[in-house]
Chains A and B, each alone.
Chain A
Amino acid sequence: MISIQEEQEKIVEEFAILDGDQEMANFYIMELGQKLPEMDDSDRTEQNIVKGCQSKVWLISENNAGVIKYFADSNTAITKGLVSLLIRVLSNQTANDIVNADIYFPVKIGMSRFIGTQRSNGFASMIKQMKIEALAYSVITE
Chain B
Amino acid sequence: MNEKELVKDLDIETIREQFPMLKEEINGRPIIYFDNAATTQKPLIVLRALEDYYYHQNANIHRGIHALAERATAAFEETRSKAQVFINAPEKEEIIFTKGTTEGINLVASTYGRKFIKEGDEIIISTMEHHSNIVPWQILCEEKGAHLKIIPINDRGEIMFDEYEKLLTERTKIVAVVYASNSLGTINHVKDIIAKAHEVGAVTLLDGAQSTAHLDINVQNLDVDFYTLSAHKMYGPTGVGVLYGKRELLENMPPYQGGGEMIKEISFSKTTYNDIPYKFEAGTPNIADVVGFKYAMDFMDDFGKKQIREHEDEVVKYATKEISKIDGVRIIGQAENKVSVLSFDVDGVHPFDIGQMLDARGVAVRTGHHCTQPLMDRFGIEGTTRASFAVYNTVEEVDVMLDGLKRIVSFMIQ
Contacts and interface: CB of A to CB of B under 8 A. Distances in A.
A121 interface: no
B382 to A, nearest CB: 8
A48 interface: no
A26 interface: yes
Interface string B340-352: 0000000001101
Given A23-B357, A116-B359, A54 B411 contact: no
Interface in B7-28: 27
Interface in A87-142: 114-116, 119
A75 B350 contact: yes
B353 interface: yes
A115 B356 contact: yes
Contacts of A76: 350, 352-353
A116 B411 contact: no
B26 to A, nearest CB: 9
A55 B360 CA distance: 19
Nearest to A79: B352
A78 interface: yes
B384 to A, nearest CB: 14
Nearest to A75: B350
Contacts of A114: 360
A12 interface: no
Interface in B357-384: 357, 359-361
B412 interface: yes
Contacts of B27: 22-23
Contact of B352 (A22, A27, A54): A54
A26 B349 CA distance: 14
A55 to B, nearest CB: 6
Nearest to A55: B352
Nearest to A114: B360
Given A22-B27, A23-B360, A30 B411 contact: yes
A36 interface: no
A119 B352 CA distance: 10
Given A23-B361, A114-B360, A116-B359, A78 B411 contact: no
A22 B349 CA distance: 19
How big is chain B's contact interface, by range? Answer: 10 to 19
Contacts of A30: 353, 411-412
Contacts of A23: 27, 357, 360-361, 404
A77 interface: yes
A26 B350 contact: no
Interface in A31-52: none
A25 B361 CA distance: 12
B360 A77 contact: no
B232 to A, nearest CB: 22
B357 A26 contact: yes
B411 A27 contact: yes
Interface string B370-414: 000000000000000000000000000000000010000001100
A78 B360 contact: no
Contacts of B349: 77
A77 B412 contact: yes
A78 B359 contact: no
A26 B352 contact: no
Contacts of A116: 356, 359
A79 B355 CA distance: 13
Most buried by B among A26, A75, A79, A114: A26
A114 B355 CA distance: 12
Contacts of A55: 350, 352
A31 B404 CA distance: 17
Contacts of A54: 352
A100 to B, nearest CB: 32
A26 B356 CA distance: 8
Contacts of B361: 23
Contact of A22 (B350, B353, B360): B360
Nearest to B411: A27
Given A22-B27, A30-B411, A77 B359 contact: no
Given A77-B412, A78-B357, A119-B356, 11 more contacts: A22-B360, A25-B360, A26-B356, A30-B353, A30-B411, A54-B352, A76-B350, A77-B349, A77-B350, A78-B352, A116-B356
5 contacts: A54-B352, A76-B353, A77-B349, A77-B350, A77-B353
Interface of A: 22-23, 25-27, 30, 54-55, 75-79, 114-116, 119
Ordered nearest first, which 6 A-B pairs have the shortest CB separation?
A23-B360, A22-B360, A76-B350, A76-B352, A77-B353, A22-B27
